[in-house]
Structure 1
């Protein structure tokens, strides 16, 4: 596969990572524009994260099938979460690997 295709996939992978992280942080994504009527829905942020996670897994799957190295775009832990494929509460809580322990 040519370099252009590899570069293209790595760029898409970066976009998908940003999209997921924006969804995690409850920031605006194109999902908000696609489903404006859902913003008031209590499950909205869950749907938004689910869509972004699915997109990330899809791009990773394409990278894997086409032999493009994807793991170097992520921390080791993030790579494990993606390989595990399940968006668990642990993924949501520990994606950034910062200690967010409650003080008190």
Structure 2
């Protein structure tokens, strides 16, 4: 197999990010099609998010192995979460927190 192109990996990275964010937002993903009987299961959305997170970490790991810069596709905070590799409730709750909101709130305090 030939070398993976940077464009190909960048596309896969963005696909994995979108997949994880769709899982976070409880939107339809491939996982729903693979396991339609699980939709009624109370743990379904946790499994779905876990699968999407695992996929994202795998693509990031592959990107690092071929020395592709991946952090620019994420906010600084999101990149930190990915680097820590653990999907915690903080990741789920604060994934969409933007640094703009954070810096603006600091401006209002000062």
Q: Same fold (TM over 0.5)?
A: yes
Name the structure 1 match of 2:8: 8
Unaligned runs of 5+ in 2: 102-110
TM-score by length of 2: 0.85
Q: Flag the structure with higher helix content.
A: 2
TM-score by length of 1: 0.90
Name the structure 2 match of 1:23: 23
Q: CA RMSD in A?
A: 1.5
- Cα deviation code 1:9-36 (max 9, x no counterpart): 0000000000000000000000000000
Q: State the structure with bigger RCO (CA 8 A, min sep 6), 1 or 2.
A: 1
> What is the alpha-carbon distance in structure 2 between the residues aligned to residue 45 and residue 5 of structure 1?
33
Q: Which has the larger radius of gyration?
A: 2
Name the structure 2 match of 1:51: 51
- Pairing 1:86–2:86 present: yes
Moved over 6 A (4+): none
